[in-house]
Structure 1
Amino acid sequence: MHLLEHGTPVLRPSRKTISWKTSRAETDSEDQTGTAGVNRPEESVTLEDPGTETNESHSVLESTLDQHAKHTGEKPYMCGECGYRTVQKSTLSQHMRTHTGEKPHKCNQCDYTSVRKSSLARHHLAKHTAEKPYKCGECGYGTAQMYHLSQHMRTHTGEKPYKCDQCDYSATQKWNLDQHLRKHSGEKPYMCGECGLRTAQKSTLSTHMRTHTKPYKCDQCDYSAAQKSSLDYHLTQHTG
Structure 2
Amino acid sequence: MTCSVHLYNPYKHGHINASKTQENEMSECDIQEIFSSVGKDYGFRSVTAAFSPENDLKVCWMRTGPTIDFWVSDYLESAPEDILESVAEAIYRKIRGSGDDSYPERVVEFLTSRDFAEENRGSYLQRKGGVSTDRIGRHQDLDASYRRLVRRGLVEREDDLVIGWVPLGIKKDVGNSSVLMRTALLNRRLDNPFMDDDLIDYCLFTQITFVQMGFYQDSRERRERLEELIGSYPHHERYESALRDMGLGNGEELSPEC
Normalised TM-score (structure 1): 0.23
Please identify the structure whose Cα radius of gyration is greater: 1
- Give the structure, 1 or 2, with the largest relative contact order (CA under 8 Å, sep 6 or more): 2
- With normalisation by structure 2, the TM-score equals 0.22
